Structure 1
Amino acid sequence: MKVSLKNHWVVKPSEPTWNGTVSLSETDQTYSVVHVPTTYYYRLICQDNSVTSIIKSSLSKALVHFYPLARRLRWIDGSRLEIDCDASGVVLTEAETDIKLDDLGRFSLSDPDHISLFPQIDYTVPISQLPLLFVQLTKFQCGAIAPSVAMSHAVADGQSALHFYSEWARLARGEPLMFAPFHDRKVLRAGEPAVASPTLSIYCIIHHQF
């Protein structure tokens, strides 16, 4: 299988967003600065080339709400990380492959053909310049598509990532946002004295946190 990269874009929020810094929780500080890849496969969903513009436009709208993903990490005193909210944007790549989806076979992370469907990330780039989100949209000869996402684990865990994918999909379908993300992480921050004291109510309230 041959995957050809056709276009690259830097996608930014479609509207102005809050400008400042977001502290990472103590748990976030312990994660390696790596991106976790996820890919989805969809058979032919439209007969024209509008899928790329839909992905690009809806991603830009989603970043208005999930604005930390459009930012960059930076070191504080060389030992702690925080998110610098400067709206640098995320990377979207359009790619094509020379096979049909049914030719792909059983998925395996050890198969270089499957790995080529994921965004390729250069970790030699300084962390202050490394995007937190990469997206690669690969088109198959049969019309199927494979949108693959690589998201920084320091910024979002699995549940938060799935929340983003779900809301992004809603916007792509022309639907309104259902659950807005919650960005305030101060309750998870350690301090002397403690920033917040744990109470039973914390464990009883169901909320969607990003």
Structure 2
Amino acid sequence: MAFSSEALKFTVRRKPAVMVAPAGPTPRELKRLSDVDDQDGLRFHIPVIYFFRRGDGGGRCDDDPAVVLRNAVAAALVHYYPFAGRLRELEGRKLAVDCTGEGVLFIEADADVRLDHFGDALQPPFPCFEELIFDVPGSSALIDTPLLLFQVTRLACGGFVFGVRMQHAMADAPGLVQLLGAIAELARGGTTPMVRPVWAREMLEARDPPPLSALAHREYDEIPDTDNKRTTSVPLDDMVHRSFFFGPREVAAIRSQLAPDLRESATTFELLTGCLWKCRTMALAPTADEEMRIICIVNLRGKRGAAKIPCGYYGNAFAFPVAISKAGDLCTKPVGYAVGLVKKIKREVDMEYMRSVADLMVRRRRPHFTVERAYVVSDVSKVGFWDIDFGWGRALYAGPAKGGVGAIPGVASFFIAFKNVKGESGVVVPVCLPGPVAMDKFVEEMSKILHLQDDVEELGRAATTQHVSRL
């Protein structure tokens, strides 16, 4: 049985949030974050969510998930003890974590809903998301608040939802997966995590004094106010959220439209990002001379010159390189134009680029990346959310709980590993646009690129959830 998740409503009964402290003694010290960690654009909490069915009774499947996971969190905090502390802001807006051992928030809950009520294909936006990762009053501030929040919600069918919220300044997606992997190992009966956590934030600190760089770093441009507020502001009172599935057929359709050299060399991420950027720009209908931005999250791990990033490092190790184009060019030129711009900026990120970002943060008091007319895309499909086994087998869904960056819900999309109801593997991409007219235009333009003009609904055949959010 499947119900429309757009109309799905259910009641969650939560016990009072409790503080879970490390299960053993931990050092009391002040640990400085890196100058990449504490930039303004990372000072928010990121939510991740897991859906599990009851399981077959093996391993931990018959145990209460709230008890198992609460104990595993306490054990993991012995190794990842900075997460049990609190952030402090030092001179120059510098962030440091005071390792107090106070602990993290944990919520135990029950809901009168079954997994099958969420529909055949679990994907963001999730109905009643705010009930599954509850924002405990006062807990989402930056300073002197818990750095992690966990919620286990038992469902009427015996399955459960595991929600996690983490202060982004402490870690990036690979770092969060590393922490969750440690919790999973301990939940399954392990005694210590296989991967030893490494702090080492000094390797991404600014030089002293921070030199001027030859790199432009236009992702941190200061853009003056403009009279055209139609595309520079996000109308938070009428945002339409929809998730789209891209499998082999969709990727092949985009690739077929590229020039031969780009057709051979472009990655799936570059193809999809360029296509999304073009269609989103057309949906927003800016004036032809407006500058539109695509910001790609590019992780330093595995890049050239990144040998100094040690195994076990869980801090933020990514950059926000940006490509800029006139809206008219994006709208009128073939999709390969946007794909080529994305491909070019991905190559810019290396260790020197990251050091230059750290230097800029100190020189300019840790600015936010530019969000005016910007679209942020991050590929978390290969980060490893799906690979984590807490003792209940493979999750039905594992990954970001919603799109958006901090308090800016309309500017970001994630690529999330996904298998649709037909068994096709690909990525699902949440997209958020200002109103149903813009979303309809987005679907129309995407359908043209994917050769689906005769059936625009085919685009969303495995990801048809639509939800109008009035925040």
Q: What is the TM-score when the length of structure 2 is the normalising length?
A: 0.41
How far did 1:205 drift? 6.7
Q: Which runs of 5+ in 1 are unaligned?
A: 195-199
How far did 1:192 drift? 1.5
Alpha-carbon separation, structure 2, partners of 1:85 and 1:48: 35
Q: Which amino acid aligns with 2:184?
A: A
How far did 1:129 drift? 2.7
Give the aligned partner of residue 178 of structure 1: 194
Q: Is the counterpart of residue 3 in structure 1 residue 35 in structure 2? A: no
Say if 1:70 and 1:205 are closer, same or farther in 2 by CA, change over 3 A.
Answer: closer
How far did 1:193 drift? 5.8
- Larger Rg computed on CA atoms: 2
Q: Which amino acid aligns with 1:37?
A: P
Runs of 4+ in structure 1 displaced over 4 angstroms? 46-49, 106-112, 123-126
Secondary structure at the aligned position of 2:89 is classed as: strand
**8 Å contact 1:139–1:146 — kept in the other structure?**
yes
Question: Which of 311, 331, 334 is the equivalent residue of 1:207?
Answer: 311
Question: Which of 14, 35, 43 is the equivalent residue of 1:33?
Answer: 43
Question: Which of 14, 21, 24 is the equivalent residue of 2:30?
Answer: 21
Q: Is the counterpart of residue 92 in structure 1 residue 106 in structure 2? A: yes
Secondary structure at the aligned position of 1:27 is classed as: coil
Alignment map for 1:154-169 (pairs within 5 Å) = 154-169=169-184
Q: Which amino acid aligns with 1:116?
A: E
Say if 1:114 and 1:201 are closer, same or farther in 2 by CA, change over 3 A.
Answer: closer
- Relative contact order (C-alpha < 8 Å, sep 6+): which is higher? 1
Secondary structure at the aligned position of 2:203 is classed as: helix
**8 Å contact 1:54–1:172 — kept in the other structure?**
yes
How far did 1:104 drift? 1.6
Q: Is the counterpart of residue 53 in structure 1 residue 67 in structure 2? A: yes
RMSD: 2.4
Alpha-carbon separation, structure 2, partners of 1:33 and 1:123: 15
How far did 1:204 drift? 6.8
Q: What is the TM-score when the length of structure 1 is the normalising length?
A: 0.87
Q: Which runs of 5+ in 2 are unaligned?
A: 1-9, 211-303, 315-471
**8 Å contact 1:91–1:134 — kept in the other structure?**
yes
**8 Å contact 1:119–1:149 — kept in the other structure?**
no
How far did 1:58 drift? 0.8
Task: Tell me which moved more, 2-11 or 19-28.
Answer: 2-11
Q: Which amino acid aligns with 1:34?
A: F
**8 Å contact 2:65–2:152 — kept in the other structure?**
no
Q: Alignment identity in percent?
A: 31
1:33-79 deviations in Å (ceiling 9; x for gaps): 21100011111145755322211111100000111111111111362
User: How many equivalent pairs are there?
Assistant: 205
